[in-house]
Amino acid sequence: MAARLDEIARQAGVSKATVSRVLNERPGVSVRARTAVMAAIEALGYERPSTMRPRSFGLVGLIVPELQNPIFPLYAEVIETNLARHGFTAMLGTMTPEGSGEDEYVGMLLDRKVSGIVFVSGLHADTRIDRSRYEDLARQRVPFVLVNGQVPGLGASSLSSDDALAARLAVQHLAGLGHHRIGFLSGPERYSTVQRRLAGFRLAMRRLAGPGAGDLVELSSFDVAGGQSAAARLLDRGATALVCGSDLMALGAIRAARRRGLRVPEDVSVVGADDSLLMSFTDPALTTVRQPVLAIGAAAARALADQVKGRGSGCGEQLFDPELVIRDSTGPCPAGPR
């Protein structure tokens, strides 16, 4: 057996410990390493461990980035509820700096022979990632669905809120209130969702104010601190209204305005994104662009169920219309300089 482990490890280009975990169906092996070990086993003429027991029909992986942003627990709840209606039980995995990453979760889920996986705002939204992790899943014929973001050319089922439309709705609302110095703040530009929202913002600003408009842009992290720092820079540049990439960033923007002695919305208007829980109870109640979580969650569960039951494969990308929810954090543009 030791000689076989050495032989398989050399063939696969991994450690003997990794080979052992695969052979004994242990968690903690990445998709790429598992695929390499399986290929080595076949090339050397050994029996594949996957033949020892069938896939666990009914068990589905659900991976979300974190739970601090209220939009992600909402997605998890909606998708889990809809999966149950299709006869599936969800195993929730949450990515945190101290915990497991997406690849580790996928490895553990494959160890448990899940029927499929739903990824919510995962690495697939990062345009700089190595896409082979998803290509490996497709080659292994593991059903999976991507929520909010896609991997171009993969052909996987991808369901997203229309981020470009979300930005346009926010700009149109603020322009209708007389604002022209409208700033945009969001997360890092490497994410496809940010790229689309930024493109929608700039298009709407060009239509509003002509060529060259849409230069009031600051990118930071998707949390309250990131929103506060980005908003502070935009306020220094004379913005009278702010379009934010998340509700948490919008709360940070309101904090930045108040620390300058500015009132919201009398001096500065703020628009969030997502309409996550409790945003109607903030002070002031937050105007935001609501993600169609209920529709996306139901469609994601249905798409995965269809794949698992052999009624379809990846259907490409489907966009869902967001909705502008007007509350108290936006108002007319103040007359004269602040």
Q: pLDDT (tens digit, 9 = 90+) per residue, 32-43?
A: 787 788 888 878
Report the pLDDT averaged over residues 193-219: 91
Q: How many CA atoms lie within 13 A of 77 on its CB side?
A: 10
Tell me how long the chain is.
338
State yes or no: cis peptide before 284, omega within 30 of 0: yes
For the chain, give the mean pLDDT: 89
String of b and e for 174-202 (b: at least 16 CB within 10 Å)? bbeeebeebbbbbbeeebbbbbbbbebbb
| pLDDT score recorded for residue 74 | 95
Identity of the highest mean pLDDT range in 20-24, 84-88, 296-300: 296-300
Where do the H-state alpha helices sit in 48-162?
Answer: 71-85, 102-111, 132-139
What does the DSSP 8-state code read for residue 257?
H
What is the pLDDT confidence band of residue 29, given thresholds at 50, 70 and 90? confident
Q: Give the model confidence (pLDDT) of 97-152 as tens digits.
A: 555 688 888 988 888 889 999 999 989 999 998 888 899 998 888 999 999 998 88
CA distances from 155 to 150, 238, 264, 299, 306 (A): 9, 44, 44, 16, 15
**How do residues 183-204 score in pLDDT, each as one tens digit?**
999 999 999 999 999 999 999 9
pTM of the prediction? 0.81
User: Residue 318's pLDDT band (boundaries 50, 70, 90)?
Assistant: very high
**Residue 274 in this model has a pLDDT that exceeds 90:** yes
